[in-house]
Structure 1
Amino acid sequence: MKTILLTGATGFLGSHLLEALLKEGYSVVILKRSSSNTWRIQHLLDQVKTYDVDCVPLEVAFRDQRIDTVIHTACQYGRNGEPIHKIVESNLMFGLKLLDAATFFNTDTFFNTDTFFNTDMFFNTDMLLQKYLNAYTLSKKQFVEWLHLQSEKIQVVNLKLEHIYGPKDDKTKFVPWVIDQLERQVEEVKLTMGEQERDFVYIDDVISAYLLTLKKTMQMERFTEFDVGTGMLTSVRNFVEEIKRAHETLYGKSNTLLHFGALPYSAGEMMTINVDNKLLTDLGWAFNISIQAGITKIISLKLQSDL
């Protein structure tokens, strides 16, 4: 079975992906920092080989074993006020170092995690935060351009993820934040009108896309890009109202007011998006978890963990 080098394994997406890769029988090597919080993957650490990239050069991981595939999920959003150069170092320079090493050591395939991103998916509408999020978007776009250039030397699979949600997500993200507001029974949750249309895709369906494309790289070009989403758009308002309905089903009637229209739209707000998942569905992928089922699953798991 192939050996996978995985970055971002301690994060939301990476932790779910790590668990799935191990269940599939892959040998997994992870890159992290010595200061990384490993709470999501603590139960898996004895099954993987770990390198702290702030202590040893990342090339060591390639020298120690044959790496067949790199799956790069690590990124820096800048949500905590990190300076722009830190965002660029994480999203562009670290990615380039990883790409250089993979190319030098003749790794077969480089999977990159690209994202659809918009500031309305965060509850904080502060303009300074939006500045950092723009830095995130630009740095990710630049890295994809480098991947195009290097695809002559290494096969590249670029997965453009729509809005992922699921258990173990960062509490500052939109869905966990809304659930937290309901749990704390705040008087009101201030939101925009919520007319923006987004493609919400459950984490398990995203992981299945990684596993499928990983197994079918032989059928792909030197650079292949997939939109990973359900292909169906839902308004932010309907999604939030579904969260409240599911929460009330499990916890009882809530007096929290969802105050749509309390916040203005961000400057340049994208009111809808174009998702074309045909290339992925032609490969054999399909989503299995509806929004209703996904939200109920998150809240049910949260309820169980609180017991």
Structure 2
Amino acid sequence: MRFLITGATGFVGSNILRYLVKKNYSPHVFIRKTSNLWRIKDLVSKITLYKVDLTENELLNRTVRKIKPQVIFHLANAPLYQGRPALVKSYLDANLLGTINMIASCKDLDYQCFVNTGSSAEYGLKNKPMREDNYCQPLSLYAITKLAATNYASYIGKIDRKPIITFRLFSPFGAFDDPKRLVTETIYNALDNKQIFLSNSNLVRDYLYMEDVVDAYIKAIDKAQKYQGEIFNIGSGRQISIGKTVKAILKLSASKSKIKWGKLEPRHFESYVWEADLSKTKKCLSWKPRYSFEEGLTETINWFRENKQIYRGRVRTFR
């Protein structure tokens, strides 16, 4: 089976790539000229890399026709962590135009599955678990462009009867997570017993261990044809407060770190309700998380103990 992955140098993409390489596949990977390969540098000899900008239609179309992928995992995006926005054009190019061009490049191929990667941020603030048929009210340019990409992917999937589905990811965590994210920063500093600055302990996330995220993408391969244009939540279905998250990390890592609440400003779109309704996902994809939050944290902390040097100079520390 021929796999093509965009965004494979990112957190989720690199973990999917590792899974496929472990299963003896040789995935094809699109990267930008400016991509940092720190997450996948040990895999370069086992994959086929292409420097392809998704806004360069001619090169993109020619390369996709050459590969003839059967499964496409589209994860390329301009992310938003800690409220630090990329340039407006970066969001439009990576999140929306890149998705439109990627789908168009596969138009004449007889592929089995195309997973577009969306975000729970598309929903905006809600007062109950988020369902795929909720009215979306995104509160950032990142979320606006991700929602537009999701709507386009759903439109093409349904109108052209293509096996395109979208995963709205909630809050994955695990190996090779982004250095700026809460779980990464907290574990990294906790292992050195350093003090940790945070915002509001009552804010919440729906955390999902990365092994379960990868499992969802693999499950999609045999389901996309049946659910053309559909959207699926990928989360744990259980929200947890930042306070409880940090407390669990300190306990599982046996850390003596001191937590300084209120030292950071919360993002304007933070919420006290952020939870995935997994009813549709469980029913249609026959998927549900296998790891509890505590089990995933334990695995992640153990991974960080062995790979902490990778993050040296990348993670914020506090004095």
Shorter-chain-normalised TM-score: which range?
0.7 to 0.9
What's the counterpart of residue 135 of structure 2?
none
1:92 Cα offset (Å): 0.9
Q: Which amino acid aligns with 2:280?
A: L
Matched, 1:164 2:166: no
* Paired residue type of 1:213: A
Alignment of 1:227-266 (within 5 A): 227-248=233-254, 253-254=255-256, 256-263=257-264, 265-266=266-267
| Distance change >3 Å, CA 73–CA 262, structure 1 → 2 | same
Correspondence for 2:297 among 269, 281, 295:
295
Corresponding position: 1:214 with 2:221 = yes
Within-5 A mapping of 1:1-307: 2-54=1-53, 57-78=59-80, 82-117=86-121, 134-151=140-157, 152-153=159-160, 154-187=162-195, 189-218=196-225, 220-248=226-254, 253-254=255-256, 256-263=257-264, 265-282=266-283, 283-305=285-307
Deviation at 1:44, TM superposition (A): 2.3
What is the alpha-carbon distance in structure 2 between the residues aligned to residue 160 and residue 306 of structure 1? 29
Instruction: Give the aligned CA root-mean-square deviation in angstroms.
Output: 2.7
Q: TM-score, normalised on structure 2?
A: 0.81
Contact 1:62–1:105 (CA under 8 A) maintained in structure 2: no
Displacement of 1:22 in angstroms is: 3.2
SS of 1:295's equivalent in the other structure is helix
How big is the shift at 1:279?
2.4
CA distance in 1, matches of 2:8, 2:25: 14
**178-187 or 57-66, which moves further after superposition?**
178-187
The Cα shift of 1:100 comes to 0.9
CA distance in 1, matches of 2:179, 2:32: 21
Q: Which moved more, 1:260-269 or 1:25-34?
A: 260-269
Find the residue that maps to 2:27 and give its secondary structure: strand
Contact map agreement 1:157 1:223 (CA 8 A) in 2? yes
Tell which deviates more after alignment, 48-57 or 164-173.
48-57
Instruction: Give secondary structure in 2 for the equivalent of 1:10.
Output: coil
**One-letter code aligned to 1:210:** Y
Give 1:274 shift.
4.0
1:223 partner SS: coil
The letter for the 2-side match of 1:206 is V
Summarize the Cα distance change of 1:198–1:243 in structure 2 as closer, same or farther, 3 Å threshold.
Answer: same
Quote the Cα distance in structure 2 between the aligned partners of 1:81 and 1:148: 26
CA displacement, residues 17-70 of structure 1 (integer Å, 9 cap, x when unaligned): 012223445452111023322232223222222210149811122221322222
Query: For 1:103, what is the secondary structure of its paired residue?
Result: coil
SS of match in other structure, 1:205: helix
Residue 243 of structure 2 aligns with an amino acid whose one-letter code is R
Separation (CA, whole Å) in 2 of partners of 1:186 and 1:90: 36
Provide the C-alpha distance between the structure 2 equivalents of 1:31 and 1:162, rounded to a whole number of angstroms: 24
Q: Which amino acid aligns with 1:208?
A: D
- SS of 2:59's equivalent in the other structure is coil
Matching residue of 2:314: none
* Alpha carbons of structure 1 residues 274 and 82: separation in structure 2 relative to 1, 3 Å: closer
- 8 Å CA contact retained: 2:205, 2:239: yes
Q: TM-score when scaled to structure 1?
A: 0.84
Post-superposition shift, 1:235? 1.4
The Cα shift of 1:234 comes to 1.3
Counterpart AA for 2:219: L
Structure 2: which 5+ residue stretches go unaligned?
125-138, 310-319
Q: CA deviation at 1:172?
A: 1.1
Partners of 2:186 and 2:275 lie apart in 1 by 25
Deviations 1:104-136 (A, max 9, x none): 4444432111112399xxxxxxxxxxxxx8111
Q: Return structure 1 stretches of 4+ with deviation > 6 angstroms.
A: none
How many residues of Structure 1 are paired with residues of Structure 2 in the alignment? Answer: 288
1:290 and 1:229 map into 2 onto residues whose CA distance is 12
- The answer as to whether partners of 2:199 and 2:262 remain within 8 angstroms in 1 is yes
